[in-house]
Chains A and B, each alone.
Chain A
Amino acid sequence: MSNESLPSWDQIPIGGIIVEPGNSINRYTGDWRTFKPIINNDKCIRCLLCWVYCPDGVIKILDREYIDSKGRKWDITLDIDYDHCKGCGICVEECPVDAIDFVEEVK
Protein backbone atom coordinates (compact mmCIF):
# COMPACT_ATOMS: atom_id res chain seq x y z
CA MET A 1 0.00 0.00 0.00
CA SER A 2 1.26 3.49 -0.75
CA ASN A 3 0.33 6.84 0.68
CA GLU A 4 -0.28 8.83 -2.51
CA SER A 5 -0.72 12.11 -0.68
CA LEU A 6 2.79 12.00 0.78
CA PRO A 7 5.88 13.21 -1.12
CA SER A 8 7.56 10.82 -3.58
CA TRP A 9 11.13 9.56 -3.05
CA ASP A 10 12.68 12.43 -5.03
CA GLN A 11 10.77 15.07 -3.05
CA ILE A 12 12.15 13.89 0.32
CA PRO A 13 15.48 15.39 1.48
CA ILE A 14 18.40 12.99 0.82
CA GLY A 15 18.70 10.22 3.39
CA GLY A 16 15.55 11.48 5.13
CA ILE A 17 17.52 14.34 6.67
CA ILE A 18 15.22 16.63 8.62
CA VAL A 19 16.08 20.11 7.38
CA GLU A 20 13.42 21.92 9.39
CA PRO A 21 14.65 22.22 12.98
CA GLY A 22 12.25 21.94 15.92
CA ASN A 23 9.52 20.14 14.03
CA SER A 24 8.97 17.52 16.75
CA ILE A 25 6.25 19.89 18.01
CA ASN A 26 4.21 18.68 15.02
CA ARG A 27 4.36 15.09 16.26
CA TYR A 28 1.68 14.48 18.85
CA THR A 29 2.89 11.85 21.30
CA GLY A 30 0.20 12.42 23.92
CA ASP A 31 -1.74 9.35 22.84
CA TRP A 32 1.16 7.13 23.94
CA ARG A 33 0.08 7.63 27.57
CA THR A 34 -1.38 4.91 29.78
CA PHE A 35 -1.16 7.05 32.91
CA LYS A 36 -1.62 10.79 33.05
CA PRO A 37 0.30 13.09 35.45
CA ILE A 38 -1.82 15.84 37.01
CA ILE A 39 -0.13 18.65 38.95
CA ASN A 40 -1.82 19.72 42.18
CA ASN A 41 -0.98 23.43 42.23
CA ASP A 42 -2.19 23.66 45.83
CA LYS A 43 0.47 21.18 47.13
CA CYS A 44 3.17 22.31 44.67
CA ILE A 45 6.14 24.22 46.19
CA ARG A 46 7.36 25.52 42.77
CA CYS A 47 10.79 23.86 43.07
CA LEU A 48 10.56 23.06 39.31
CA LEU A 49 12.30 19.68 39.69
CA CYS A 50 9.62 18.25 37.37
CA TRP A 51 10.59 20.83 34.74
CA VAL A 52 14.26 19.85 35.16
CA TYR A 53 13.67 16.10 34.89
CA CYS A 54 10.98 16.00 32.19
CA PRO A 55 12.64 14.33 29.15
CA ASP A 56 10.15 15.88 26.74
CA GLY A 57 9.93 19.46 27.99
CA VAL A 58 6.20 19.31 28.52
CA ILE A 59 6.05 20.97 31.98
CA LYS A 60 4.57 24.39 31.31
CA ILE A 61 5.48 27.28 33.62
CA LEU A 62 2.58 29.66 33.20
CA ASP A 63 2.99 33.35 33.98
CA ARG A 64 -0.22 33.24 36.01
CA GLU A 65 -0.76 34.07 39.68
CA TYR A 66 -1.97 31.28 42.02
CA ILE A 67 -3.26 31.65 45.58
CA ASP A 68 -3.22 28.36 47.50
CA SER A 69 -5.64 27.18 50.20
CA LYS A 70 -3.36 28.59 52.95
CA GLY A 71 -3.59 31.99 51.30
CA ARG A 72 -0.02 31.96 49.94
CA LYS A 73 0.40 33.75 46.63
CA TRP A 74 2.60 32.22 43.91
CA ASP A 75 3.74 34.16 40.83
CA ILE A 76 3.51 31.11 38.59
CA THR A 77 1.16 28.22 37.90
CA LEU A 78 2.28 24.83 36.56
CA ASP A 79 0.59 22.82 33.86
CA ILE A 80 1.39 19.97 31.44
CA ASP A 81 1.34 19.95 27.64
CA TYR A 82 -0.84 16.85 27.20
CA ASP A 83 -0.40 16.86 23.40
CA HIS A 84 3.21 15.79 23.92
CA CYS A 85 3.43 14.24 27.43
CA LYS A 86 4.12 10.50 26.93
CA GLY A 87 3.18 9.60 30.51
CA CYS A 88 6.60 8.32 31.56
CA GLY A 89 5.96 9.28 35.18
CA ILE A 90 9.41 10.71 35.88
CA CYS A 91 7.88 13.96 37.20
CA VAL A 92 5.65 11.93 39.55
CA GLU A 93 8.69 10.05 40.85
CA GLU A 94 10.84 13.17 41.31
CA CYS A 95 8.30 15.50 42.92
CA PRO A 96 9.52 15.95 46.56
CA VAL A 97 6.07 16.77 47.95
CA ASP A 98 3.95 14.26 46.00
CA ALA A 99 2.11 17.07 44.29
CA ILE A 100 1.70 15.15 41.01
CA ASP A 101 -1.03 12.53 40.76
CA PHE A 102 -0.73 9.71 38.23
CA VAL A 103 -4.13 8.54 37.06
CA GLU A 104 -5.05 5.90 34.52
CA GLU A 105 -6.21 7.26 31.18
CA VAL A 106 -9.81 6.38 30.46
CA LYS A 107 -10.84 6.62 26.84
Chain B
Amino acid sequence: MSRVKQKRLALNSNYAVAYAVRDVDVDVVAAYPITPQTTIMEKISEMIANGELDAELIHVESEHSALSAVVGASAAGARVFTATSSQGLELMHEILHIASGMRLPIVMAVPTRALSAPISIWNDYSDLMNTRDASWITFIASTAQEVYDSIVQAYMVAEDSRVLLPVMVAYDGFLMSHTYEPVEVPEDPGPIREITPRRDRITLDPDNPVTMGTITDPRWYYEIKYQQVKAMENAREVIEETSETLYRVLGRRYPPVEAYKTEDAEIAVLAYGGLFGTVQDAVDSMRSKGLNVGAIRLRQWRPFPVEELTHLLHNLDAIIVIDRAISYGASIQGPVALEVYPVASRMGLHVYSFIAGIGQRHVLERDIESMVSKALGYLDQGVTPLRSIYWGVRGGE
Protein backbone atom coordinates (compact mmCIF):
# COMPACT_ATOMS: atom_id res chain seq x y z
CA MET B 1 0.00 0.00 0.00
CA SER B 2 1.40 3.37 -0.92
CA ARG B 3 0.92 6.62 0.92
CA VAL B 4 -2.66 7.88 0.65
CA LYS B 5 -3.94 11.24 -0.51
CA GLN B 6 -4.70 13.46 2.45
CA LYS B 7 -6.35 16.77 3.05
CA ARG B 8 -5.22 19.34 5.56
CA LEU B 9 -7.84 20.50 8.08
CA ALA B 10 -7.74 22.85 11.04
CA LEU B 11 -8.77 20.65 13.98
CA ASN B 12 -8.44 20.74 17.72
CA SER B 13 -7.36 17.46 19.33
CA ASN B 14 -10.93 16.58 20.36
CA TYR B 15 -12.13 16.91 16.77
CA ALA B 16 -9.09 14.94 15.57
CA VAL B 17 -10.35 12.12 17.83
CA ALA B 18 -13.83 12.30 16.28
CA TYR B 19 -12.41 12.18 12.73
CA ALA B 20 -10.37 9.08 13.60
CA VAL B 21 -13.39 7.41 15.22
CA ARG B 22 -15.32 8.09 12.01
CA ASP B 23 -12.53 6.81 9.78
CA VAL B 24 -12.10 3.49 11.61
CA ASP B 25 -15.90 3.03 11.43
CA VAL B 26 -16.71 2.50 15.11
CA ASP B 27 -20.01 0.67 15.84
CA VAL B 28 -20.93 1.75 19.37
CA VAL B 29 -20.08 4.90 21.32
CA ALA B 30 -21.15 5.64 24.90
CA ALA B 31 -20.14 8.66 26.92
CA TYR B 32 -21.20 11.14 29.55
CA PRO B 33 -20.40 14.84 29.18
CA ILE B 34 -17.45 16.25 31.11
CA THR B 35 -15.18 19.18 30.41
CA PRO B 36 -12.87 19.12 28.45
CA GLN B 37 -13.98 15.88 26.75
CA THR B 38 -17.48 16.97 25.75
CA THR B 39 -16.72 18.35 22.30
CA ILE B 40 -15.50 14.91 21.15
CA MET B 41 -18.97 13.53 21.68
CA GLU B 42 -20.61 16.63 20.22
CA LYS B 43 -18.62 16.10 17.03
CA ILE B 44 -19.34 12.36 16.93
CA SER B 45 -23.09 12.90 17.38
CA GLU B 46 -22.96 15.48 14.60
CA MET B 47 -21.24 12.92 12.35
CA ILE B 48 -23.86 10.30 13.20
CA ALA B 49 -26.70 12.79 12.57
CA ASN B 50 -25.18 13.73 9.21
CA GLY B 51 -24.86 10.10 8.17
CA GLU B 52 -21.06 10.28 8.06
CA LEU B 53 -20.76 7.60 10.74
CA ASP B 54 -23.08 4.63 11.17
CA ALA B 55 -22.83 4.03 14.92
CA GLU B 56 -25.04 3.66 17.99
CA LEU B 57 -24.48 6.55 20.41
CA ILE B 58 -25.68 5.42 23.83
CA HIS B 59 -26.65 8.18 26.25
CA VAL B 60 -25.88 7.10 29.80
CA GLU B 61 -26.24 8.55 33.29
CA SER B 62 -22.59 8.42 34.35
CA GLU B 63 -19.08 7.52 33.23
CA HIS B 64 -19.33 4.27 35.19
CA SER B 65 -22.24 3.41 32.93
CA ALA B 66 -20.50 4.74 29.81
CA LEU B 67 -17.60 2.35 30.17
CA SER B 68 -19.92 -0.46 31.29
CA ALA B 69 -22.00 0.03 28.14
CA VAL B 70 -18.98 -0.25 25.86
CA VAL B 71 -17.74 -3.26 27.85
CA GLY B 72 -21.04 -4.97 26.99
CA ALA B 73 -20.98 -3.90 23.36
CA SER B 74 -17.34 -4.93 22.96
CA ALA B 75 -18.05 -8.31 24.56
CA ALA B 76 -20.80 -8.75 21.95
CA GLY B 77 -18.24 -8.11 19.20
CA ALA B 78 -18.73 -4.42 18.40
CA ARG B 79 -15.90 -1.96 17.75
CA VAL B 80 -16.42 0.60 20.52
CA PHE B 81 -15.26 4.01 21.67
CA THR B 82 -15.63 6.19 24.73
CA ALA B 83 -13.94 9.29 26.13
CA THR B 84 -13.73 11.10 29.44
CA SER B 85 -11.64 13.38 31.64
CA SER B 86 -10.84 13.96 35.29
CA GLN B 87 -13.65 12.96 37.69
CA GLY B 88 -15.22 10.93 34.89
CA LEU B 89 -12.10 8.81 34.58
CA GLU B 90 -12.09 8.34 38.36
CA LEU B 91 -15.72 7.21 38.28
CA MET B 92 -14.77 4.69 35.56
CA HIS B 93 -11.91 3.32 37.60
CA GLU B 94 -13.62 0.11 38.69
CA ILE B 95 -14.63 -0.71 35.13
CA LEU B 96 -11.14 0.10 33.78
CA HIS B 97 -9.90 -3.08 35.44
CA ILE B 98 -12.91 -5.08 34.27
CA ALA B 99 -12.39 -3.96 30.67
CA SER B 100 -8.75 -5.03 30.66
CA GLY B 101 -9.40 -8.18 32.68
CA MET B 102 -12.08 -9.25 30.20
CA ARG B 103 -9.53 -8.52 27.45
CA LEU B 104 -11.82 -6.19 25.53
CA PRO B 105 -10.24 -4.00 22.80
CA ILE B 106 -11.91 -0.76 23.93
CA VAL B 107 -10.42 2.55 22.83
CA MET B 108 -10.81 5.66 24.97
CA ALA B 109 -9.66 9.25 24.50
CA VAL B 110 -8.60 11.14 27.62
CA PRO B 111 -8.06 14.90 27.33
CA THR B 112 -6.45 15.15 30.74
CA ARG B 113 -7.64 17.42 33.54
CA ALA B 114 -6.84 18.10 37.18
CA LEU B 115 -8.79 16.32 39.93
CA SER B 116 -11.07 17.77 42.61
CA ALA B 117 -10.84 19.04 45.34
CA PRO B 118 -10.45 21.96 45.01
CA ILE B 119 -12.32 21.90 41.72
CA SER B 120 -10.21 22.69 38.68
CA ILE B 121 -11.47 22.29 35.14
CA TRP B 122 -7.95 23.03 33.87
CA ASN B 123 -5.24 20.70 32.70
CA ASP B 124 -2.80 18.44 34.43
CA TYR B 125 -2.21 14.67 34.32
CA SER B 126 -3.48 13.63 37.77
CA ASP B 127 -6.44 11.79 36.23
CA LEU B 128 -4.36 9.77 33.78
CA MET B 129 -1.65 8.87 36.27
CA ASN B 130 -4.23 7.31 38.58
CA THR B 131 -4.96 4.72 35.86
CA ARG B 132 -1.35 3.54 35.88
CA ASP B 133 -2.01 -0.01 37.07
CA ALA B 134 -5.29 -0.64 35.22
CA SER B 135 -3.62 -2.70 32.47
CA TRP B 136 -4.57 -0.29 29.69
CA ILE B 137 -2.06 0.45 26.95
CA THR B 138 -1.56 4.21 27.16
CA PHE B 139 -0.30 6.69 24.61
CA ILE B 140 0.26 10.36 25.43
CA ALA B 141 0.06 12.43 22.25
CA SER B 142 1.65 15.83 21.83
CA THR B 143 -0.03 17.18 18.68
CA ALA B 144 -3.55 17.00 17.22
CA GLN B 145 -2.08 15.12 14.26
CA GLU B 146 -0.65 12.52 16.59
CA VAL B 147 -4.00 12.28 18.36
CA TYR B 148 -5.71 11.35 15.06
CA ASP B 149 -2.99 8.85 14.15
CA SER B 150 -2.91 7.37 17.67
CA ILE B 151 -6.64 6.66 17.75
CA VAL B 152 -6.28 4.72 14.48
CA GLN B 153 -3.24 2.89 15.84
CA ALA B 154 -5.07 2.20 19.11
CA TYR B 155 -7.59 -0.02 17.31
CA MET B 156 -4.81 -1.79 15.40
CA VAL B 157 -3.03 -2.61 18.65
CA ALA B 158 -6.05 -3.32 20.88
CA GLU B 159 -7.68 -5.77 18.46
CA ASP B 160 -4.49 -7.72 17.69
CA SER B 161 -4.89 -11.30 18.98
CA ARG B 162 -1.46 -11.07 20.65
CA VAL B 163 -2.70 -8.12 22.72
CA LEU B 164 -6.48 -7.80 23.26
CA LEU B 165 -6.15 -5.05 25.83
CA PRO B 166 -7.93 -1.69 25.95
CA VAL B 167 -6.05 1.44 24.86
CA MET B 168 -6.16 5.01 26.14
CA VAL B 169 -5.02 7.95 24.05
CA ALA B 170 -4.32 10.90 26.34
CA TYR B 171 -3.37 14.50 25.57
CA ASP B 172 -3.51 17.89 27.31
CA GLY B 173 -7.03 18.99 28.17
CA PHE B 174 -7.71 22.55 26.90
CA LEU B 175 -4.09 23.18 25.85
CA MET B 176 -4.67 20.63 23.06
CA SER B 177 -8.33 19.59 23.27
CA HIS B 178 -9.49 23.14 22.52
CA THR B 179 -6.65 24.57 20.41
CA TYR B 180 -6.57 24.24 16.63
CA GLU B 181 -3.68 22.83 14.62
CA PRO B 182 -3.27 21.66 11.04
CA VAL B 183 -4.16 17.95 10.82
CA GLU B 184 -3.88 15.77 7.72
CA VAL B 185 -6.60 13.18 7.31
CA PRO B 186 -7.06 10.81 4.37
CA GLU B 187 -9.47 12.14 1.72
CA ASP B 188 -11.10 8.73 1.70
CA PRO B 189 -11.34 6.48 4.80
CA GLY B 190 -10.81 3.35 2.68
CA PRO B 191 -7.10 2.92 3.44
CA ILE B 192 -7.72 3.43 7.18
CA ARG B 193 -10.36 0.71 7.08
CA GLU B 194 -7.95 -1.59 5.23
CA ILE B 195 -5.38 -1.33 8.02
CA THR B 196 -8.05 -1.78 10.72
CA PRO B 197 -9.80 -4.94 9.50
CA ARG B 198 -12.37 -6.68 11.71
CA ARG B 199 -10.72 -9.65 13.36
CA ASP B 200 -12.10 -12.75 15.04
CA ARG B 201 -12.04 -13.01 18.82
CA ILE B 202 -14.21 -14.79 21.37
CA THR B 203 -17.43 -12.79 21.78
CA LEU B 204 -20.88 -13.30 23.27
CA ASP B 205 -22.67 -15.38 20.66
CA PRO B 206 -25.95 -17.27 21.23
CA ASP B 207 -24.78 -20.01 18.84
CA ASN B 208 -21.57 -20.55 20.79
CA PRO B 209 -22.35 -19.55 24.38
CA VAL B 210 -19.47 -18.45 26.61
CA THR B 211 -19.20 -16.87 30.05
CA MET B 212 -16.97 -13.81 30.50
CA GLY B 213 -15.76 -12.16 33.69
CA THR B 214 -16.60 -15.15 35.84
CA ILE B 215 -15.55 -15.70 39.45
CA THR B 216 -12.24 -17.52 39.88
CA ASP B 217 -10.96 -19.13 43.03
CA PRO B 218 -7.32 -18.85 44.16
CA ARG B 219 -6.32 -21.77 41.89
CA TRP B 220 -7.14 -19.80 38.70
CA TYR B 221 -7.00 -16.01 39.22
CA TYR B 222 -3.18 -15.64 39.19
CA GLU B 223 -2.66 -17.37 35.83
CA ILE B 224 -5.41 -15.28 34.21
CA LYS B 225 -3.81 -12.04 35.46
CA TYR B 226 -0.43 -13.31 34.21
CA GLN B 227 -1.98 -13.52 30.73
CA GLN B 228 -2.38 -9.72 30.98
CA VAL B 229 1.29 -9.36 31.88
CA LYS B 230 2.22 -11.26 28.72
CA ALA B 231 -0.29 -9.30 26.61
CA MET B 232 1.27 -6.03 27.80
CA GLU B 233 4.70 -7.41 26.84
CA ASN B 234 3.41 -8.48 23.42
CA ALA B 235 2.02 -4.99 22.90
CA ARG B 236 5.55 -3.64 22.49
CA GLU B 237 6.15 -5.46 19.21
CA VAL B 238 2.60 -4.91 18.00
CA ILE B 239 2.96 -1.16 18.58
CA GLU B 240 6.21 -1.22 16.62
CA GLU B 241 4.66 -3.18 13.71
CA THR B 242 1.57 -1.00 13.54
CA SER B 243 3.73 2.14 13.66
CA GLU B 244 5.44 0.91 10.49
CA THR B 245 2.10 0.20 8.81
CA LEU B 246 0.85 3.67 9.71
CA TYR B 247 4.05 5.18 8.36
CA ARG B 248 3.63 3.35 5.06
CA VAL B 249 0.04 4.56 4.70
CA LEU B 250 0.08 8.02 6.31
CA GLY B 251 3.76 8.94 6.23
CA ARG B 252 3.96 9.57 9.97
CA ARG B 253 5.29 7.54 12.89
CA TYR B 254 5.89 8.12 16.57
CA PRO B 255 8.57 6.26 18.53
CA PRO B 256 7.74 5.21 22.12
CA VAL B 257 10.26 7.82 23.30
CA GLU B 258 11.24 10.62 20.96
CA ALA B 259 14.66 12.29 21.10
CA TYR B 260 15.38 15.89 20.18
CA LYS B 261 19.02 16.99 19.94
CA THR B 262 20.21 14.48 22.54
CA GLU B 263 23.17 13.01 20.59
CA ASP B 264 25.79 15.38 21.99
CA ALA B 265 23.80 16.56 25.00
CA GLU B 266 24.99 16.43 28.57
CA ILE B 267 21.50 16.90 30.04
CA ALA B 268 18.04 16.27 28.60
CA VAL B 269 14.57 17.41 29.59
CA LEU B 270 11.89 14.71 29.45
CA ALA B 271 8.29 15.83 29.08
CA TYR B 272 5.01 14.44 27.75
CA GLY B 273 1.96 15.79 25.96
CA GLY B 274 1.76 19.26 24.51
CA LEU B 275 4.49 20.60 26.78
CA PHE B 276 7.10 18.91 24.57
CA GLY B 277 6.80 21.70 21.98
CA THR B 278 7.71 24.30 24.60
CA VAL B 279 10.62 22.14 25.74
CA GLN B 280 11.92 21.87 22.16
CA ASP B 281 11.80 25.66 21.76
CA ALA B 282 13.61 26.08 25.07
CA VAL B 283 16.28 23.60 23.92
CA ASP B 284 16.83 25.60 20.72
CA SER B 285 17.15 28.78 22.70
CA MET B 286 19.58 27.26 25.24
CA ARG B 287 21.66 25.69 22.46
CA SER B 288 22.05 29.12 20.86
CA LYS B 289 23.57 30.15 24.19
CA GLY B 290 26.02 27.24 24.02
CA LEU B 291 24.37 24.77 26.41
CA ASN B 292 24.48 21.07 25.48
CA VAL B 293 20.83 20.36 26.18
CA GLY B 294 18.43 17.93 24.52
CA ALA B 295 14.81 16.91 24.94
CA ILE B 296 13.03 13.58 25.23
CA ARG B 297 9.32 12.97 24.86
CA LEU B 298 7.53 10.04 26.41
CA ARG B 299 4.78 8.87 24.07
CA GLN B 300 4.20 5.33 25.27
CA TRP B 301 3.37 5.35 28.97
CA ARG B 302 2.15 1.76 29.11
CA PRO B 303 3.92 -0.48 28.32
CA PHE B 304 6.80 1.70 29.56
CA PRO B 305 9.57 1.76 26.92
CA VAL B 306 12.49 0.64 29.08
CA GLU B 307 14.77 -0.48 26.24
CA GLU B 308 14.17 2.51 24.02
CA LEU B 309 14.73 4.92 26.90
CA THR B 310 17.92 3.09 27.89
CA HIS B 311 19.18 3.59 24.36
CA LEU B 312 18.43 7.33 24.39
CA LEU B 313 20.02 7.98 27.77
CA HIS B 314 23.33 6.51 26.67
CA ASN B 315 25.47 9.67 26.42
CA LEU B 316 23.74 11.77 29.04
CA ASP B 317 24.97 12.78 32.49
CA ALA B 318 21.60 13.86 33.80
CA ILE B 319 17.93 13.96 32.99
CA ILE B 320 15.20 16.32 34.10
CA VAL B 321 11.70 14.85 34.19
CA ILE B 322 8.81 17.31 34.20
CA ASP B 323 5.66 15.78 35.66
CA ARG B 324 2.27 17.44 35.56
CA ALA B 325 0.88 15.23 38.32
CA ILE B 326 1.79 14.53 41.93
CA SER B 327 2.13 11.12 43.53
CA TYR B 328 1.62 12.29 47.11
CA GLY B 329 4.00 10.73 49.57
CA ALA B 330 5.95 8.74 46.97
CA SER B 331 9.75 8.50 47.12
CA ILE B 332 9.85 10.68 44.00
CA GLN B 333 6.54 12.44 43.59
CA GLY B 334 6.59 12.82 39.80
CA PRO B 335 4.93 9.62 38.51
CA VAL B 336 6.96 9.50 35.29
CA ALA B 337 10.18 10.48 37.06
CA LEU B 338 9.57 7.54 39.39
CA GLU B 339 9.62 5.19 36.38
CA VAL B 340 12.53 6.90 34.66
CA TYR B 341 14.62 6.70 37.84
CA PRO B 342 15.45 2.95 37.85
CA VAL B 343 16.34 3.07 34.14
CA ALA B 344 18.49 6.20 34.43
CA SER B 345 20.15 5.47 37.76
CA ARG B 346 21.20 2.01 36.51
CA MET B 347 23.16 3.92 33.86
CA GLY B 348 24.67 6.30 36.39
CA LEU B 349 22.57 9.34 35.42
CA HIS B 350 21.37 11.96 37.87
CA VAL B 351 17.57 12.29 37.79
CA TYR B 352 15.94 15.61 38.65
CA SER B 353 12.19 15.41 39.16
CA PHE B 354 10.29 18.65 38.62
CA ILE B 355 6.59 19.09 39.30
CA ALA B 356 5.01 21.81 37.14
CA GLY B 357 1.84 22.75 35.30
CA ILE B 358 -0.40 21.61 38.18
CA GLY B 359 -3.97 22.76 37.54
CA GLN B 360 -2.64 24.31 34.30
CA ARG B 361 -0.21 26.71 35.97
CA HIS B 362 1.75 28.08 33.00
CA VAL B 363 5.00 26.38 32.04
CA LEU B 364 6.89 28.72 29.72
CA GLU B 365 10.17 28.44 27.84
CA ARG B 366 11.90 30.51 30.52
CA ASP B 367 10.69 28.03 33.17
CA ILE B 368 12.33 25.18 31.26
CA GLU B 369 15.54 27.20 30.95
CA SER B 370 15.55 27.96 34.68
CA MET B 371 14.92 24.29 35.51
CA VAL B 372 17.92 23.34 33.38
CA SER B 373 20.18 25.89 35.03
CA LYS B 374 19.01 24.75 38.48
CA ALA B 375 19.72 21.11 37.52
CA LEU B 376 23.13 22.00 36.07
CA GLY B 377 23.91 23.67 39.39
CA TYR B 378 23.08 20.43 41.23
CA LEU B 379 25.12 18.49 38.68
CA ASP B 380 28.16 20.74 39.25
CA GLN B 381 27.89 20.12 42.99
CA GLY B 382 27.26 16.41 42.33
CA VAL B 383 24.07 16.39 44.39
CA THR B 384 20.65 14.99 43.59
CA PRO B 385 17.72 16.23 45.68
CA LEU B 386 15.94 13.34 47.37
CA ARG B 387 12.50 14.73 46.60
CA SER B 388 10.75 16.32 43.64
CA ILE B 389 11.19 20.03 43.05
CA TYR B 390 7.87 21.89 43.09
CA TRP B 391 8.47 24.45 40.39
CA GLY B 392 6.99 27.88 40.95
CA VAL B 393 4.88 27.08 44.00
CA ARG B 394 4.48 30.23 46.12
CA GLY B 395 6.46 29.98 49.32
CA GLY B 396 8.21 26.77 48.17
CA GLU B 397 11.86 25.92 48.82
Q: Are B219 and A6 in contact (CB under 8 A)?
A: yes
Q: Any chain A CB within 8 A of the CB of B306? A: no
Main secondary structure of the interface of B (DSSP, over half): loop
- B199-213 interface mask toward A, CB cutoff 8 Å, 1 = contact, 0 = none? 000100000111111
Q: Are B223 and A15 in contact (CB under 8 A)?
A: no
Q: Which residue of B lies closest to A1 (CB)?
A: B218
Q: Are A17 and B226 in contact (CB under 8 A)?
A: no
Cross-chain contact of A16 among B164, B220, B230 (Cβ < 8 A): B220
A18 to B164, CA, bound (A): 17
Q: Any chain B CB within 8 A of the CB of A48? A: no
Q: Are B214 and A9 in contact (CB under 8 A)?
A: no
Q: Number of residues in A with C-beta < 8 Å to the partner? A: 15
Cross-chain contact of A18 among B101, B103, B210, B227 (Cβ < 8 A): B210
Q: Which residue of B lies closest to A18 (CB)?
A: B211
Main secondary structure of the interface of A (DSSP, over half): loop
Q: Are A12 and B211 in contact (CB under 8 A)?
A: no
Given known pairs A18-B210, A19-B202, the reply for A9 and B216 (CB within 8 Å) is no
Nearest CB of B to A79, in Å? 28
- B178-205 interface mask toward A, CB cutoff 8 Å, 1 = contact, 0 = none? 0000000000000000000000001000
Nearest CB of A to B225, in Å? 9
A13 to B212, CA, bound (A): 10
Q: Are A16 and B214 in contact (CB under 8 A)?
A: yes
Q: Which residue of A lies closest to B220 (CB)?
A: A16
A97 to B211, CA, bound (A): 38
Residues of chain A lying within 8 A (CB to CB) of residue B224 = 9, 12, 15-16
- A1-42 interface mask toward B, CB cutoff 8 Å, 1 = contact, 0 = none? 001001111101111111101000000000000000000000
Nearest CB of A to B128, in Å? 24
Chain B residues 215 to 263 lying within 8 A of chain A, measured CB to CB, are 216, 219-220, 223-224, 226-227, 230
Q: Are A3 and B202 in contact (CB under 8 A)?
A: no
Q: Are A21 and B210 in contact (CB under 8 A)?
A: yes
Cross-chain contact of B227 among A3, A14, A19, A21 (Cβ < 8 A): A14
Q: Are A15 and B210 in contact (CB under 8 A)?
A: no
Q: Which residue of A lies closest to B204 (CB)?
A: A17
A98 to B186, CA, bound (A): 73
Q: Any chain A CB within 8 A of the CB of B92? A: no
Residues of chain A lying within 8 A (CB to CB) of residue B212 = 15, 17-18
Q: Are A14 and B202 in contact (CB under 8 A)?
A: yes
Nearest CB of B to A25, in Å? 14
Chain B residues 311 to 334 lying within 8 A of chain A, measured CB to CB, are none
A13 to B102, CA, bound (A): 11
Given known pairs A15-B102, A17-B210, the reply for A9 and B202 (CB within 8 Å) is no
Q: A15-B212, A17-B211 are in contact. List 13 more A-B contacts (CB 8 A).
A: A9-B226, A9-B230, A10-B230, A12-B220, A12-B224, A13-B202, A14-B202, A16-B214, A16-B224, A17-B202, A17-B212, A21-B209, A21-B211
Q: Write the residues of chain A forming the contact surface with B, with a CB cutoff of 8 angstroms.
A: 3, 6-10, 12-19, 21
Closest 6 CB pairs of A and B: A15-B103, A18-B211, A9-B223, A21-B209, A16-B224, A9-B226
25 A-B pairs within 8 Å (CB atoms) are namely A3-B219, A6-B220, A7-B223, A9-B223, A9-B224, A9-B226, A9-B230, A10-B227, A10-B230, A12-B223, A14-B103, A14-B164, A15-B103, A15-B213, A15-B224, A15-B227, A17-B211, A18-B210, A18-B214, A19-B202, A19-B208, A19-B210, A21-B209, A21-B210, A21-B211
